[in-house]
Amino acid sequence: MMVENKKDVIDRKVTNWILDVKEGKYKKEDITIETVKLVKEIVGCDEWKNAKELMCKVKEVGRLLERRVSSTETDSSSSANVLRRVLRIVREEYLALLKKEAVEESLHKMLSGGNQEEDDYGTPIPTLGAAILDHLNELETELETSSENIAAQASEHIHNNEVIMTLGNSKILADFFKEAAKERKFEVLVATTEPSTAGRELAQVLHKAKIQTNIVPDSNVFSIMSRVNKVIMGTDTVMANGGLRSACGSHLVALAAAHYSVPVLILAPLHQLSLQFLCSPNQPSFNTFLSPQGVLNYADGDILSKVSIYNPKFDYVPPDLVTLFISNTGGHAPSYIYRHLTELYHPDDNQL
């Protein structure tokens, strides 16, 4: 009876959490941390007997998240990425503990169970929960400090009297510039990022932080690029090949930068690394088309029935246009992304 109640409690928590995400209760930058918190509750409730069941439960959350909350309402790809990292942690801890036990119990078991990768994670280990929780706390700290860690590298990349072009708006981007402004004096040009006008919001934030900021219309990005020393942008997702799924307009900026040989730096905390590849421009899971509002107004009347209006949320920026990724662990070239992926995620968890 008690067990059933506990299960209900967890189920209700998961549903409530998904509704919260859906209703936008959490800030975009906090969602990864909230994901870890939820998993910690699942781990802490003792509702699972072995690592396999726990992983099933975590995968179920991932599937629910994918089905119920689509990627545009939140940054759900990073939630899914965090869940994959959690799965990796569960696997690691399980195998480590199993090995330990095996050494203690018998030499034979250690010899026969030599191939750890094929373990079915079915053995119940009483200390597993505590070990996972420890590891999850580490992960949580990492996520909490990722923005700070990226900002800490700002002075390495921005130098005095440089002109920096940027686009879109995110907390990491603003923090990065604010941190750099503590030591350096530089100028920021912000592309407006129509139709979402996120660029304007960023410009306001930077202006309040007393950074010299100018707003540039998207259409003038190319003409002004010759004056720019560096392009620094955020991204929504880093694709498995080192390409970007980022705010609409990024591709334009990256192409212009490539034409004038201006380096393009991308601020990307590790949880934005995804296993996704772009196979075709029509790939439905890649892009999202928003309401045409902003491109044209509903009040524009009859013209609307005579034209097709597209308002894609994202651009795909191919990896060869990106010079450097700045993650919370340092700078990486796009060609190095695959290495991160194998370190962070277990190949069996690609499909949640």
Partner 1 sequence: MQRKEAVQKEDVVQAVIIADAYHNTFRPVTDFPTLMPLVNKPLLEYTLRCLSSAKVDEAIVFCTSDTEDVKSFISNQEWGRMSVSVVTSDRCGSLGDAMRDLDAKALIRGDFILLSGNLVGNLELLPALENHKKIQKSDKGAAMTLIFKNCGKKSRSSEDELFLGIDNKTDRVIAFQRRLNGGMMEVDMEAILGHGQVDIRNDLLDCKICVCSVSVPPLFSDNFDFQTLDDFVHGLIINEDILASTVYSYILPNDQYAAGVTSWQNYHYISMDIIHRWTYPFVPDRWEDEPYTINRNSVYLQNDVALAKDCRLRSNVVIGSKSSIHEMASIASSVIGKNCSIGANCVITNSHIFDNVNIASGSTLDYCVVGNGSNIGDGVVLKDCIVGQGTTLEKDSLIEHQRIQRSKTSESNEPVGVKAFTYKSDSEDESDDEDSEDEGYVAPAWRGLLVEPSPIIEVAEDSDSDGGDSMRPESPIQDDANLFYSEVVDSMLRGYEDKLPCTNLVLEINSSRYAYNVPLNEVNYNVVRAILTLQHDFSWDSLTNRIKYFMPLFVNYVRNASAMIDCLNAIEDVAEINPPLTSVSMKLIHLLYDKDVLEEDAIMKWFSHPRNPCEGQSIRKVVKPFIEWLENTESEEEEEED
User: Looking at 284, 306, 342, 351, which residue binds partner 1 (CB under 8 A)?
Assistant: 284
What whole-number distance in Å separates Cα of residue 221 and Cα of residue 218?
5
Of 149 and 311, CB closest to partner 1: 311
The reply on whether position 22 binds partner 1 by CB under 8 A is yes
Pairing relationship of beta strands 237-238 and 264-267 according to DSSP bridges: unpaired
Least separation in angstroms between residue 34's CB and partner 1 is 17
What whole-number distance in Å separates Cα of residue 143 and Cα of residue 204?
26
The reply on whether position 27 binds partner 1 by CB under 8 A is no
Contact segment (CB under 8 A) with partner 1 among 41-49, 172-180, 283-291, 325-333 equals 283-291
Pairing relationship of beta strands 244-247 and 314-317 according to DSSP bridges: antiparallel
The reply on whether position 299 binds partner 1 by CB under 8 A is yes
The reply on whether position 301 binds partner 1 by CB under 8 A is yes
The reply on whether position 19 binds partner 1 by CB under 8 A is yes
Closest CA to 250 of 333, 207, 176, 312: 312
Least separation in angstroms between residue 75's CB and partner 1 is 16
Least separation in angstroms between residue 32's CB and partner 1 is 21
Sequential DSSP letters for 226-250: TT-SEEEEE-SEE-TTS-EEEETTH
The reply on whether position 23 binds partner 1 by CB under 8 A is yes
The reply on whether position 12 binds partner 1 by CB under 8 A is no
Distances (CA, A) of 279 to 220, 243, 255, 291: 31, 12, 20, 25
Least separation in angstroms between residue 91's CB and partner 1 is 30
Contact residues for 29 (Cβ-Cβ < 8 A; gap 6+):
147, 170, 171, 172
The reply on whether position 330 binds partner 1 by CB under 8 A is no
Residues of this chain that interact with partner 1 (CB under 8 A) are 19, 22-23, 67-68, 70, 72-73, 282, 284, 289-294, 297-302, 304-305, 308-309, 311
